[in-house]
Structures are given as C-alpha cells and as structure tokens.
Structure 1
Amino acid sequence: MIRSILTGVGAYLPEKVLTNDDLSKIVDTSDEWIRQRTGIERRHVAGEGELTCDLAANAARAAMKMAGVDAREIDLLILATTTPDNTFPATAARVQAKLGVHQGPAFDIQAVCSGFIFALTQADNMIRLGQAKKALVIGAEIYSRILDWEDRGTCVLFGDGAGAVVLQAAEGDGTSADRGVLATETGTDGSHYDALYVDGGVATTGHAGHVRMAGQEVFRHAVSRMSQSVENVIARTGLAKADLNWLIPHQANARIIAKVGDKLGVPQDNVIVTVQEHANTSAATIPLALTHGVATQSFKPGDLIALTAMGGGFTWGAALLRW
C-alpha cells in the first residue's frame, strides 16, 4: 500500500523576541508567574510588514531543502493557520507563489491549534489515494496581531512562528512496521465553541478581534482529548502504548504536556518540549517541536512517534508515524 513518509522538516521563528520580563512591563505579570503556570520563558513576534505567508514560506524552504525536493516536484500544499494574510484568497496560494510552485492544489485549513494534525491527515489521505506524490504541510501563525495585550490571561501564552514538513508517497507493506504515517484521527465538538475563540470576524464584527479563553475548561479538555486520541490511533494499528518511543504534543502549556505524557506512560525524557522557547504558536507548535527533535538527533529509524493537539472549536486529533 501507499504510505506517506516524512522526508523533510523546517522551522522559522521571527527575529524579535519578547521575554517574560518584557511582558511584565506592559501587563500585570511576572517571569515567575508565567513560568510556574505555563513553562513559557519567551515568545517570538513577527516584525512590521512580516506576514503569515512569509513565516510559512521560510519554514517550507527549509523543509524542502532537507527533503532534497524543488518547487517542480511539490504537487500539494496545505497551510494550517488561524491568522491568514487576507480573508481570501487562501494564504496557501501566496505561499505557493513565493516558493515557485505552479501545480497542484494549495489551500488553508482552519482548526486552530489542531490545524497541523488536520492538515497532515488531509495530505496523507490524498497521497494514499494517489492524488499527490509530494506534499508540503505547513503550520504558520501570527497570534501577536489577535491578542489583547491588556489581558494577562492570554497575551502571555501565545507567539508567532511556522513549521513545515514534506510528505512523500512510498510503498509500504500495509503493516504497523511500515515507515511513514500509520494512522490519524481528528474530531470536533462545537458545543465548546465559546471556551476558546476570537471575539471578531468577517460576519460578526468586521474586524479580526482578540483571543478569549476559559483557561480551566481548556486545560481539562486538552489533557483528556489529546491523550485519548493518541490511544485511539495506537489501538487502530494493533500496537500498544508501550511501543511509543516519542510523544510530540501541542506546545500550549508545560503542565498540559506533562499530564498527557503521564497518562500515556511516556517518560518525560521522551516527550518533546519546546514551549519555553516560543510559547503557543497554535498550528505551528507541532512542526516546530518535530523540527527540534530532528535537529537534536532525537529520533532513530524505526522509532514510533505520536503527534497530538487540541484547539478551539473544540478540535483535536492525533497522528502516529514510524520514523
């Protein structure tokens, strides 16, 4: 059977860094308060004139370089983002043009912090159906432009950044020993819509709005949804939790990450954690963490890796892949 194997990863973080101490000068907070509750130490902020497409294209170029592919080979581009450049066209179209890709579909997916899992799932499905051979899957966000910088409950949590992967079609035996994406799961429960949302939009206020969040409700659901979705994709392959080598969860909060790891029985040394460096970059956190894992040579051939996230909607999902 056809499998989607990951052949390249890439990341991009804007040059400007905003530390916790910097934030304490503009809102009632402190470095100690933020670290204790979230694990975050700093976040990156897009520069003036820097757009989501710029972040996405930079990460994509790095992933393409690692994969050894050029623009003529990419026949699918999916961008997960909550912060598009414009209402339309899709920001993916602008990224496609920046990369010099002129073939295949390019479109955005909006599933907030779960967006990369949704995009990866869509790309994997299209590759397995023979609708694409080499795909770029990107998560890119500029949250600094939808934050209320007077709300310490949200402005300390988010940052800007992008991560990307190249997926390529390859032959597999159809077993859990195959290299590549083995199983994915996505879900949504819109009854929690108001627990994490932006108070603006085209059809409501006519402007972008700001992030609003019921923190405790999000925390509780994130732990249960993320861990359960990983258990589900593992079970679907006939494997066991003990077979997992690495966990790469959405990087929203260090305490959430630790609890998900504990529920899945993954040692903390085998959980990739990067939230301290870039805060919650929504759809970009998983590819950023994945790129960190590659850069630190954490993964070896044959390792079983679980990716998982939960975001506004509520949306959630997981992917299981063999390195």
Structure 2
Amino acid sequence: MGASRIRVGSVATALPGPPIDNATLGRTLGASSVFEQWVDQFIGTRTRHLSVDLETGEACFTLADLAETAGRKALNDAGVAPADVDLVVMGTSMPDALLPTTVNVVADRLGIDGIRTYQLQSGCTGAMQALDLAHQLLLSGRHGIALVIGGDVCAKHVDLGSDLGKLPPSELVNTVLFGDGAGAAVLTAEDVPGTAVLHRVLVRLAGRGRAPGQIVEWFGMGDRTEERTALHEDFKAIEEHVPALSEQALAELLDDQGWQSADIDYLLPPQLSVRMTDRIVRHLGLPRAEEVSCVGETGNTANALPFFQLERVLPRMEPGDRAVAVAVESSKWIKSGLVLEMI
C-alpha cells in the first residue's frame, strides 16, 4: 500500500564564496560606467555568487562540491543517516561532466550506496522534475526517504576576457543574470510533526511549436575550436511566454487542490531576474500571498532556486498556511510548480 502523503523533512542550500556585486563584476569585465545602471534597470540583480575566482579565473567549486554541502546539511537537519536514504534524485542543466553523473559523485561523497539514483538534465524546472519523480516514487510505498538535489554552476561559461562593450544584449544578459549554487531537500513518507506536506508537483511540457528560448552548447573535442557562442538567449520570447506559462501552472495547481487564489499565504514565483519576477507576480495577482524571492541576492541559480525559496518560506509557515511555487523552463518551455501546506 502506498504512502498517503509526503512531507518535506528539511531543506538546505550552498553558495560558493562571497557575494559579488555589480560594481565588482563590472570592474573585472572592463564594463563602462553605465554598467551598474543598466543592470539595475533591466535585470535588478544586486549580487551573485560565482564558482570562479574573478581575478585568476581559477575554478574554486564544482557542482558536486556545492551539492555535497547542501545534501549533507539537509540530511543532518532532518536527522537522517546516509544509510537511511532510499533514493537520490538530482536536477541540473550543467553537470560537472557528461560522465560520471554528478548525482553519483555526490552520493559517493555522502556515503550513500546500493540504492536508486537519477540525474535529470533540464533548465529552471529541473528541480521541480526531480521533486516530482521523488514524490511519485515515495507515494508508491516502495521508498521511505528521498534526497532531492538541484543546482547549477554557470561560471564555466563566463569569459573573463570578453569585452562587454562588444557583446550583443543576449550575451550581456547571460553574463550578469546567473549565479552558482545548489540546494537539497529530504522528502519523507513518515508523518513528521512540524513539517510541511508536499501535496503535488506539476511538470508539463509546453514547447510544441515554440522555438527554444535558450540554447546552451556543449562543446566536445571535435568542435571546441568553432567560433560560436556557448549561450544563446531569446529574452523577448522569455518575456512574452514566461508570465503566461506561470499563470497556467498556477491555475492548474490551484484547481487540482480545490484552492482559491485567496487561500494562498506564500507565493514562490519564477526567479529569472528581479525585474521579470516583479512582472510575473503582478501578472499572477494573488491578493494576499506573500512573495518569497531570493534572486536579487543570489542571482539566477537555475535549479538551486526553488530550494533557496523553500529554505526561506518553511520556517515562516504556521499550521494551516499554504504555499505555491511556480517555475518555467525556457529552453524548450516547461511549466511546473508545487503546493505545500503546513498540517
């Protein structure tokens, strides 16, 4: 017989190094004096954390490093030993290597072995997809505890020698938009008092007939010298589609739960950037929900972001409180989200 409901036992996150403000990033990349003003007006991000030393270009942290830190803390906070974990699922868009999978490297470091592990590659909904898979497997009754990890290390795509003044807007946005980080959550089928119930995770492909909004190239030995950029962003398409897809995801989540807009106490909106988040929150129009956002301080950490939001909201939730999270993946368009209730 399957479990009746799944709870979030703990959430933890990890960031690499100190926060890097726009002035520091601009000086490092030789930006003009209007760089900070441009970032504030169009992006809104104030700081981000990068896994690369801006002075030397040396990589200081891998995704496995950050995921291990977050995963170990999540296990400790939940009082779960590595031997008690039945399942590990990881979502990322930029693993450390194609093989071995980063999830297995992290599991090895945490002392986890002999269980099912999965790594899902996706953009900003990868964490939701990982939570969805873990949630469904726990509901089946075949597993009791899952460690779910999400994170990305984008600094490998930052060219410290680039001339920002010559970059097209699509590439300039990527230079300042993203940050690095990882998060982890322990999901349990046990009825742990004082923890939130994860009622539902939504994942829906919405990319049929839509051109990709983002492309991230992966260069191999045969094409590494080609003169093409690694990142391509159609920010206009993202501005057009993300609010509508967010609204669709929210509507489906509420409808499935039989909840009304006024029933939501906390909204965890998509975290592409501060300015986009502001637009989406206004578009969703939840009358009394308190926004839970972190992108202004962390930058867009992609698959780590939901964990940063959960880490902020869970300690604030009281019995009866309800929270909804929404995330949208723009590379081939996925709408996703989850619903939580403190019971």
- CA drift of 1:6 comes to 0.3
Q: Alpha carbons of 1:203 and 1:120: their partners in 2 closer, same or farther (altered >3 Å)?
A: farther
Identical aligned residues as a percent: 25
Distance 2:208 2:220 in 1: 19
Q: Alpha carbons of 1:279 and 1:181: their partners in 2 closer, same or farther (altered >3 Å)?
A: same
1:169 to 154, 165, 189: 189
| CA-based RMSD | 2.4
Task: Name the structure 2 match of 1:10.
Answer: 12
Deviations, residues 124-143 of structure 1 (Å, cap 9, x unaligned):
01000123211111111101
Task: Name the structure 1 match of 2:217.
Answer: 199
Structure 1, 24-33 or 7-16: larger mean CA deviation:
24-33
Task: Name the structure 1 match of 2:168.
Answer: none
Q: Does 2:175 match 1:158?
A: no
- CA drift of 1:221 comes to 1.2
Task: Name the structure 2 match of 1:119.
Answer: 130
Task: Name the structure 2 match of 1:175.
Answer: none
Task: Name the structure 2 match of 1:34.
Answer: 39
Asked if 2 retains the 8 angstrom alpha-carbon contact of 1:115 and 1:139, the reply is: yes
2:338 to 308, 319, 323: 319
Task: Name the structure 2 match of 1:304.
Answer: 322
Q: Alpha carbons of 1:300 and 1:103: their partners in 2 closer, same or farther (altered >3 Å)?
A: farther
Task: Name the structure 1 match of 2:239.
Answer: 219
Q: Alpha carbons of 1:147 and 1:218: their partners in 2 closer, same or farther (altered >3 Å)?
A: farther
Distance 2:222 2:241 in 1: 27
- CA drift of 1:68 comes to 1.2
Larger Rg: 2
TM-score for the superposition, normalised by structure 1: 0.90
Task: Name the structure 2 match of 1:184.
Answer: 201
Asked if 2 retains the 8 angstrom alpha-carbon contact of 1:91 and 1:107, the reply is: no
- CA drift of 1:193 comes to 4.8
Q: Alpha carbons of 1:204 and 1:198: their partners in 2 closer, same or farther (altered >3 Å)?
A: farther
2:97 to 70, 86, 97: 86
Note the 1:56-95 alignment, pairs <5 A.
56-95=67-106
Task: Name the structure 1 match of 2:55.
Answer: none
Distance 1:203 1:260 in 2: 41
Distance 1:180 1:64 in 2: 18
Asked if 2 retains the 8 angstrom alpha-carbon contact of 1:64 and 1:70, the reply is: yes
Q: Alpha carbons of 1:201 and 1:3: their partners in 2 closer, same or farther (altered >3 Å)?
A: farther
Q: Alpha carbons of 1:301 and 1:210: their partners in 2 closer, same or farther (altered >3 Å)?
A: farther
Distance 2:278 2:173 in 1: 21
Q: Alpha carbons of 1:127 and 1:45: their partners in 2 closer, same or farther (altered >3 Å)?
A: same
Asked if 1 retains the 8 angstrom alpha-carbon contact of 2:264 and 2:288, the reply is: no
Task: Name the structure 2 match of 1:43.
Answer: 48
Task: State the AA in 1 paired with 2:8.
Answer: L
Distance 1:185 1:33 in 2: 35
Task: State the AA in 2 paired with 1:314.
Answer: W
Count of aligned pairs: 316
Deviations, residues 191-229 of structure 1 (Å, cap 9, x unaligned):
445321113345994699622101111122111112210
SS of the aligned residue for 2:177 comes to coil
- CA drift of 1:2 comes to 2.1
SS of the aligned residue for 1:32 comes to helix
Q: Alpha carbons of 1:287 and 1:34: their partners in 2 closer, same or farther (altered >3 Å)?
A: same
